[in-house]
Structure 1
Amino acid sequence: MPTDEFFKISRETSPYAVANETARLYGKDVECPAEWNDWLHNAQVIPKKLLPKSSDNMLMNLPNSTPVETLMCYIGIGDTYTPAHKDLCASSGQNLMCYTEEGGSSIWFMTESSSTPEVDAFFKKLGNEIDHETRVLSVKDLAKAHFNVYVARQRLGDLVLVPPRSCHQVINSGGISIKMSWSRMTIRGLMAAYYHELPLYRRRVCRPETYKIKSIIFYTLLQKASQLRALTERQEHGTAIAADLASVVDLFACILVEEYSGPAPQFDPLTPGTASSEPSSFDPRCYEPKDGCLVCDFCGADIFQTYFESENCCADSPDTAQASKSDPFVLCPGCYAEGRLCQCQRMTLLQCYSFDDLHKELQDAIIVLETYQTKNRLTIDAQRFDVQ
């Protein structure tokens, strides 16, 4: 629908839902105009730390060939809404109201991050999953909740910050309002995503990961190690970077344990080239997955290193009769370990790169961290990073 027509219909629609109403337009996940993007980053209105392209946003560590776009617009009138949900992968949300007509505003209902288990149980009692984003809670529903719910009205110029794993819903009020929304990923967000959100997505709700958490952790490991190495060589302090690197080292060590598949697996390099029994030349700083990404066809998890593939079945339908009509059927290690299979049940174990190369990157990061802490007379628990 053309933008002019969308606005014309919205202006002619009552700001309150009426009986027998059949449709009410709400523009969600609309591409943000380039001019607005430029203003956001150059007008010096929003603190730099909160901007999409901030150096504190770990999403920016992904290669330019595989970016994650989170900056979007939401356009609606009264009684349009966004159902209760959590932002993807424990990311931090920012929402700026940029334009309104006829007193347009938005009412936010938000929980504390620590209340996530209680909210999850509450939705189950109502017969819903919070991660399916299918329900808007009424005031009567919220009155029965055994957790705190914070309510705020967002008006023109207001910036709403949504903490990681906070459950929230938004109901628009009055005339047209336009909001810019974007996500950031912090180190703590990566930890929450890996330990809490990703297992939930895979085991219970099969929600597409989208944000490539394992890849972000890997590139953040490289970035933080490079930064700390440079600071150490210049004999400068970098306590915050060292703390970040220590956290990412722990995360990446867990990933390698999860992705380990024993000696001599078959390789299918994601960089352009022909698959062979030997890995391609490994340069993690030039890692470019084919077609932008590779995901599990069952749960939607991002494939970082190890996966199972069936060329007899296809991704659109795990049926041998359809195999020639689509890409091979792919499963992540977690789904395969839990018994999820394609119809033919003949799957090949593949890896994107040599495990030894990934392990070396981890060991190099540990050496950088230990060197920094030794030179600055700090202590480190050597057993903490034992990934033999």
Structure 2
Amino acid sequence: MPAHRARLAFEPMPPDLDIDYVVDTTENFQFADRVTCDSLDRFSLEQFEKLAHFQVVLTGRPLVVEGFQQRWDKYLFSEKWLREKYSSKIEDVRDLSKKNNRPFTIGHYLKSLPLLSKKITPDNYMDKTCQRLYMKDIDCPSEWQENLEKLIPPALFYLNDSPKPFSGPASSDTNVSSYPKSSQGEPLALAGDLMSSLPPSMRAENLMCYIGHEGTFTPAHQEMCASLGHNIMVDASDGTPENGQDTDPGSSIWFMTQTKDRRVVSEYWMSVLGHDIDIEDYFAPMHAWAIAPFKTWVVKQKPGDLILVPPLAAHQVWNRGTRTIKVAWNRTTVDTLELALGEALPHARMVCRDEQYKNKAIVFFTLERYAKMLRQATKVEHPVVDELWAVFKRLFSMFTDILLSETFSRKTPEKEVEYHAFQSNVTCSYCRCNIFNRFLTCPGCAHSLGGDEDPYDVCMDCYVMGRSCGCISNLKWVEQFHWKDLIDRYETWRRLIISSDPANKSLKSDYPTFVVARGKAATKTIAEICQEQMARRPWNDPKKPKAVKKAEILDTASGSEDDSRSRKRKKVRKPKKIDSEDVHRCHVCFHFEVNWKLAPCSNCDQRYCYGSLFRAFEIPPQAVMEKYHWLCPKCLKVCSCGACKRDSTMRPYEPNCTVLGHDTSKVADPRSVETLVDFRKSNLWWLKKFGDDVHGRIRKHQDEAESAELERQKTLEEHGFLFESSPPEHQTQTSNGNGNGQLNGSGAKDDDAEHQRLDEDIPVDPSLMLNNAFLNLED
């Protein structure tokens, strides 16, 4: 097995931690900004929405809105109500220590929380065998959803599709009737959550509840698809006896980062902590956050606190006390869609993480929806309509990029393309991302699964990376929309934009016809690359299978840490001559490989294997294949192989980031193979070759983040934003004395019988024992 960078171990947080003292004494810790519901009543809903957008999206910092517990029905949002109403409902509970799920009824779990929380004490909290049972990702009760929708500003709530009357903060100076209306009487305004643009059957249901106890946690992660996160604590134990049992005050501690630091965070996670934050399986200890090269925003969440999580901002949560109950959801906006398509989805594809939000489909259906609105608002002058036009143009630019990526070669268009009507349910068999329109399918690898045919469908992005089924080639094209219909929509929406301002002649050049837009493309489209690669790559007939190994690339010079072992001088042997025009040697790793696995330079006769390019030069396969004339690292004078380094004019390329490698065989379809790059291998050998300057790489990412931030500040100021903190009356800095300070962990009683019970695991839910499937849960 190849060696890996050392990984920092999981370290629980102590029950008696004084988080206020920790924040006060740690230089890069800072409590997140807070606003109260009462203070927002002095402003209009539009002003609050601008404040939230500025703080959370534009500056990328978390924001806490507190005080909702003063406005809701305290009985409805309570453990007692939940137990009375849903006690018999069965949900999966995650055993964080054993990393498995077990079914519980909600009533039995709630009843067990006092015992579960007392089992973790200041003396034993470091014990890895401590039982940590977390009821997470369960459906939110409909009664809670209906009441929260009346209290939380509509633009921030789950699946919001238009402005609605509500009685929450900032509602006193808000008049929904002031919005312009369509001929049907519907408001002409932006939706708060673009997921609402999808037909109901296609939407991702992400309004979830989380019930935890002392020591349960959520590992560090970013919100899926760069969406905006929302988390409100609706109930927690207050330290008073409940149902005859003592309790400890419940709260949650959040560690959060800023959007602009996402690349610094990612590099720190991999190069220092030894974990990949995209995999979401590691809870970083507090001292790792304390010495991190970025600011950490801390939130001590209590009942009534609504936390707004910025897009792509890493965060983790630790639950404290006897009980915490939270409701969480995500929203998709035009800002998150741009981040998702540009950053989040490529990262998710590398680690094979489900794309539940169907981002490309959201772009398409939102354009259809907004186009109908704008046709009725062409002569309406209103700030809301101006915002609609601005968002419509941004969505149209994304749709243009989607269409361009799926365009076939003009010289060799595909004539046989199977049509499969779009139902939003086609996902890549390898990376599991949702496929909007065109993809490749293998007719030879389809097999029956539970009575239904299970085809092998692969997205174009994965196929370019060398991912496919064992057949490798001879795949068939499928599309879910008739291409002519998509082009017609493009032209319709383009003309709609131009008609918005007939006097502006630049609109015609800014939004050209699709033929002109395709002609302006400087690189090959990803569909065109797939066409070329299917012509190059061989077909492995499943009826006459050949030995196709997963990741059969032999790029030792760009591989794992096995290559960093001490190298003794060996007798140089003259390589065997291979009499084949289809086989050449990689310029870096010196291994012979078939030509379709090598990238040929357009200027010289050198060839590079894709594994060497990916790890040594951070060049993915698509970056090579999309160019009409690709120049190799040697011609660019950046080659870092041993021979080229002796050239005084060469400036060897030093990798900018750490790649730990990820074994996708655990999550990808078992019929899958990797034929170009073995993504399990790291680039640590190359980093060590250049001295493994961790601080230098992090500093470089910091400089890039600061430069990008300055550019964004400049743009915001040009558009009338003042880049400063929210007004003092909007801020209530978290401090001691709010009931969430130091816990002494003294809830356990002294009698021997109590200690005996604390050492035992929470038993299987008795109400489930009648089902034989649950009898062996402890095993």
TM-score after normalising by structure 1:
0.87
Q: Given that residues 228 and 369 in structure 1 are in contact (C-alpha distance below 8 angstroms), is that contact kept between their aligned partners in structure 2?
A: no
- State the one-letter code of the partner of 1:30: I
| 1:131-170 alpha-carbon deviations (Å, 9 max, x no partner) | 1111111111112211111001000100000011111000
Q: Which residue of 2 aligns with 1:6?
A: 109
Say whether 1:354 aligns with 2:482: yes
Residue 46 of structure 1 pairs with residue 149 of structure 2: no
Which residue in the other structure is 1:279 paired with? none
Partner SS for 1:14: helix
2:510 paired with 1:384? yes
Secondary structure of the corresponding residue to residue 202 of structure 2: coil
Tell me the matched-pair count: 359
Task: Report matched runs for 1:276-295 at 5 Å.
Answer: 289=423, 293-295=425-427
Matched, 1:340 2:467: yes
Residue in structure 2 matched with residue 231 of structure 1 by the alignment: 377
* Whole-angstrom distance in 2 between the partners of 1:255 and 1:324: 35
After the TM superposition, which residues 1-388 of structure 1 pair with which residues of structure 2 at under 5 Å, given as runs?
Answer: 1-15=104-118, 16=120, 18=124, 19=127, 21-41=129-149, 44-55=150-161, 56-101=192-237, 102=239, 103-125=249-271, 126-202=273-349, 204-232=350-378, 238-261=385-408, 262-270=413-421, 289=423, 293-314=425-446, 326-345=453-472, 346-374=474-502, 377=503, 380-386=506-512, 387-388=514-515
Over 3 Å counting, the alpha-carbon distance change for 1:161 and 1:236 in structure 2 is closer
Bigger fraction of residues in helix? 1
- What's the offset of the Cα at 1:354? 1.5
| 2: CA distance, partners of 1:139 / 1:235 | 52
Q: Work out whether residues 314 and 323 of structure 1, in 8 Å CA contact, stay in contact via their aligned partners in 2.
A: no
Rounded Cα–Cα distance in structure 1 between residues aligned with 2:416 and 2:110: 56
Q: Is the 8 A contact 1:83 1:133 kept in 2?
A: yes
Higher alpha-carbon deviation: 30-39 or 322-331: 322-331
Moved more, 56-65 or 16-25: 16-25
Does the residue aligned with 1:178 lie in a helix, a strand or coil?
A: strand
Q: Which residue of 1 aligns with 2:32?
A: none
Distance 2:501 2:415 in 1: 36
Output the CA distance in 1 between the equivalents of 2:406 and 2:152: 40
Query: Given the superposition, is the C-alpha separation of residues 315 and 150 from structure 1 closer, same or farther in structure 2, using an over 3 Å criterion?
Result: farther
SS of the aligned residue for 1:369 comes to: helix
CA distance 1:265–1:147, shift in 2 (3 Å): farther
Q: Secondary structure at the match of 1:373?
A: coil
User: Counterpart of 2:690?
Assistant: none
Structure 1 residue 369, shift from structure 2 partner: 1.1
Q: Is the 8 A contact 1:105 1:153 kept in 2?
A: yes
Q: Is the 8 A contact 2:213 2:324 kept in 1?
A: yes
On the 8 A contact 1:48/1:54 being kept in 2, the answer is yes
Instruction: Measure, in 1, the Cα distance between the counterparts of 2:310 and 2:476.
Output: 40
Hey, what does 2:246 align to over in structure 1? none
What is the Cα deviation at residue 182 of structure 1? Answer: 0.3
Quote the offset at 1:82 in angstroms.
0.4
Change (3 A) 1:33 1:359: same
Contact 2:116 2:131 in 1 (8 A): no
Residue 54 of structure 1: CA displacement?
Answer: 1.3
CA contact (8 A) 1:10 1:25 kept: no
8 A Cα contact 2:252 2:320, kept in partner: yes
Q: CA deviation at 1:260?
A: 1.9
260-269 vs 86-95, which moves further: 260-269
Structure 1: distance between partners of 2:292 and 2:348: 24
Distance 2:130 2:398 in 1: 49
Aligned-pair identity (%): 31
SS in 2 for 1:54: coil
User: 1:310-330 CA deviation, whole Å, 9 max, x = no partner?
Assistant: 1221489xxxxx899741100
Cα distance between partner residues in 2 of 1:186 and 1:148: 26
Larger radius of gyration: 2
Q: Judging changes above 3 Å, is the alpha-carbon distance between structure 1 residues 118 and 315 closer, same or farther for their aligned structure 2 residues?
A: farther
Distance 1:315 1:364, change over 3 A: farther
Q: Which residue of structure 1 aligns with residue 75 of structure 2? A: none
Q: Distance in 2 between matches of 1:12 and 1:111?
A: 33
Deviation, 1:226, is 1.6
Contact kept, 8 Å, 1:106 with 1:170, in 2: the verdict is yes
Q: Aligned to 2:204, what secondary structure does the other structure show? A: coil
Aligned-partner SS, 2:487: helix
Q: Which moved more, 1:107-116 or 1:17-26?
A: 17-26
Q: CA deviation at 1:53?
A: 2.5
Q: Which runs of 5 or more structure 1 residues have no equivalent in the other structure?
A: 271-287, 317-321
Gaps of 5+ in 2: 1-103, 162-191, 240-248, 516-779
